[in-house]
Amino acid sequence: MKAGLILRAAFAGAFLTFLASCESGGVTSGDGFRKQYTVARTALEEGRYDVAIRHYQRMIPNAGRAAPRLQLEYAHAQLRAGDYAGARVSAGTLAQEQSGDARLAALAVAGTAAHELGLAARQSGDPASAKALLTEAQSAMAEVVNSNPDLDPLGALSGRLASIKVQLAAL
Domain CATH for 120 = 1.25.40.10
- Quickly state the pLDDT bin for 147 (edges 50, 70, 90): very high
Find the mean pLDDT for residues 36-62: 95
pLDDT tens for 72-131 read 999 999 999 999 999 999 999 999 999 999 999 999 999 999 999 999 999 999 999 999
pLDDT at site 160 = 96
Range of the domain at 67: 2-169
Sequence-ordered alpha helix ranges (H) in the chain: 2-21, 31-45, 49-59, 67-81, 84-97, 100-123, 127-147, 156-169
Number of domains comprising the chain: 1
Contact 132, 119 (CB under 8 A): no
pLDDT at site 6 = 47
pLDDT at site 31 = 75
Using only C-alpha atoms, the chain has a radius of gyration, in whole angstroms, of 16
Q: Which of 82, 18, 86, 12 is nearest to 45 (CA)?
A: 12
pLDDT tens for 16-42 read 444 443 433 344 556 788 899 999 999
Own/partner long-range contacts of 154-159 (Cβ < 8 Å, ≥24 apart): 154/2, 154/6, 156/2, 156/3, 156/5, 156/6, 157/3, 157/6, 157/108, 159/2
pLDDT tens for 58-79 read 999 989 999 999 999 999 999 9
Contact 77, 56 (CB under 8 A): yes
